[in-house]
Structures are given as C-alpha cells and as structure tokens.
Amino acid sequence: MDRLLHILRKVGKEGWTWLFSRILFEIKCSRVTAFVCAVFQKKESKSDELFAVYDLNVQSPSFNLVQFLICAEHYCIKKGYKNYSVVIVPKELNPALEWKELTESYGEDAINYRTINLLSSLASLSPRCNGVLSFATRKAARKLTSKANVFPEGYGFSTVGGFDNREVTRILLKEGVVCEFAVPKHIPAFMDKWQFFSSKDTKIVTITIRNSKFDPVRNSNVPEWVRFAEYVESLGYKPIIIPDADQPFDRDGLPPRFTDIGLAATYNMSIRLYLYQKAFVNCYVPNGPVIFAIYSTNINYIYMKAWLEGSCISPSNVTDYDWIDPVKLRPYWGNDLQMFNGDVDTFDNIKKHFDEFCVRFNKKYDKVPS
C-alpha cells in the first residue's frame, strides 16, 4: 500500500509521461527480460575472462557495489572462472527517471566523485576481482564487452536487466557467506605500526558516523556516540570514530583523539575494512559501510535503529526483513556477535546493547567479565 501511495504521489508530481517511462524502464531492467536475453543471446565466449558489468543507469555509485561483487564472486565459483574484471558503465538516463531526492541531496559532483573513487576502492577488496575498467561512454563499454563473457547473464546495454540487489540475500540464505572480503597484504604490516595495533591486549571499538543530507533520519546522534566513546575509553577500550565520507570535515563535537585513524578509514576502504575485521565490536546506524558487516562472518557489530519510521530506505519493522531471524535479531547466516536492533541511538540504548554484546563475547570465548 505504501508503495502504491508513493507511485500515485509521484504521478501527481511528475505526470503520466513519467509513469509510462518508468514502466518501460522497469520492463527493460526486469529479471524476465534478462532471462529472455540470456536464452537468445550469443553463446558464451571461449575466453576464460569474465566482465562483471555495473551499470549506473540502474545501480548507484555507493556501497551497494558490495552486493554486486558478492554475486559476481558467487557466479565465478558456479561457472568456474578464476577471476573477473569490473566494468563501470556510465549513466545516460532520462532525467525524468532520476532519483531526484538523492541527486539533489548530494549533487552531481559528489556523485561523480563516488563513481571515480569509491567503486574502485571497494572492488579492490573482492578476492577474485583483478581490476576495474571505467568508461566515459556507454558506447566504449559496449565495444569491450559485446563479444565477451559477462555477468549478469542476459545483460544488454538497451535491455539492462539481470542483476537484482536482493539476489545477494537469496544466495546467502541458501548457501551462507560465499566469500569474505580481504584487505591487500601490505595493510596489516602498515597498520601494525600504529601503536594501538602493536598491543594485542587493546580492544578496539569502532563507531561509524552517518551525517548526510539525504534521508537524515538515519543520521547518527553524534553527542550520544561521543558520550559512549568516552564511556568505553574509561573501561580501557580504544574507541575509533570514523566520520562520514560525504562530510568528513564536519567534525563538530568529535574529539580529535577519537578520529585520528578514523579519518584515514573514511577514505581508505582497505584501512576501514581492516579496522572492522580487527575490532572487538563495530557500531553502526543505517549507512553504507554497514554492508561490510552484514554480509560477513568475521566482523562483530551492533547495528542500532536497523528499522525505523520515516526513512525512505530503511524498513520500519524487523518483519520487513526476510533475511533476519526475528527472534535472534541477526541475519540467518550470521552469528551471536552480530546484533541488530530497532532502538534509537541514545547513550543508554547503545550501552545496553554493548553490555549485551560483552556478555555474548565472554560466553563464546569462556572469559570472565572484567
């Protein structure tokens, strides 16, 4: 019903031409179209090279690429490819089909920056990805891939379909986590020079901040997170606050001692992932980077306000997730140190879930609480 009301409001604002254009676009992008194209398109190339095509007409220049990469990894395993290359196809879209709330919040320059910097950084963490090719025009990308093996199957430049972000949860529900993202080999040696990594006794608690103009209801309650950072610091933990990459220098109220290495992790995805994997626990609100944790088994986390009212992205209830155990409040493929909740991020709520995490951690590793 909510989706129908949204469509009706959109028609009232944009007109019936928008609705007709949107219907045609959705048909072109559908899994049915992809299946038909896969049946009738050319036979698979004899080359052992695979191109995973990430089309910005239908995909966003965001952490959603992680979902695509997991599916590409799964496809490689299933089809026997040793590795693959990511092909970034630029957006050439009817302005009427743009997500105006998103583009107006970020601006085209910021979105282009994400395309250039974020996507290649994320792809470098995918175990079987051996490179990223980014093209200035769709014509140039088509010339490279027209006679090649491509993922998604059935992908075409005029019939875009083939990849659905929900495919990753279908895979994980059926098979569990099929790959763990990994940092380059030089990162551990580089990070171990940092004084807090030189001691094995230091327990790191990361706090990933969201501070965005888009869908601000999902933003972090910064004063409460700083209070929590001071609290865990008093207990002997090392809190690291990672500012939002969209507004990294808007750090009002963030003590520098908490953001020293966090600022590096803001832009360097390898450092960010290494921190997440090494941390005692990672704390999130609904944001892009949480996707690293959700699709892993080796990242401990507390995910605050994972469902909330008033967001145009996040579900409003835990039952809206078909991949979260409604009793254990974690993904079906996850573990007890990966915790979802729908509580707002006040200090008392954060502390409550942190204390629960510590109980679970001590129980799992049979440790006496300190």
Flag whether pLDDT at 93 surpasses 60: yes
Query: CA angle at residue 37 from 31 to 42, to 5 degrees?
Result: 145
pLDDT of residue 170: 95
User: What global pTM score does this model have?
Assistant: 0.84
The pLDDT of 256-261, averaged and rounded, is 91
CA dist 83 and 77 (Å) reads 9
The pLDDT of 53-77, averaged and rounded, is 93
b vs e for 263-273, b when ≥16 Cβ sit within 10 Å of the residue's Cβ? Answer: bbbbeebbbbb
Beta strand segments in the chain, E:
50-55, 84-89, 129-134, 149-151, 204-208, 238-242, 281-284, 301-303, 324-325, 330-331, 338-340
pLDDT of residue 194: 79
| pLDDT tens sequence across 130-178 | 999 999 898 999 888 888 899 998 787 555 555 788 899 999 999 999 8
pLDDT of residue 35: 44
Least confident of 16-30, 103-117, 180-194, 206-220: 16-30
Q: Which domains does the chain have, with CATH numbers?
A: 2-175 (no CATH), 186-364 (3.40.50.2000)
pLDDT of residue 217: 95
Do 182 and 127 touch, CB atoms closer than 8 A? yes
pLDDT of residue 63: 94
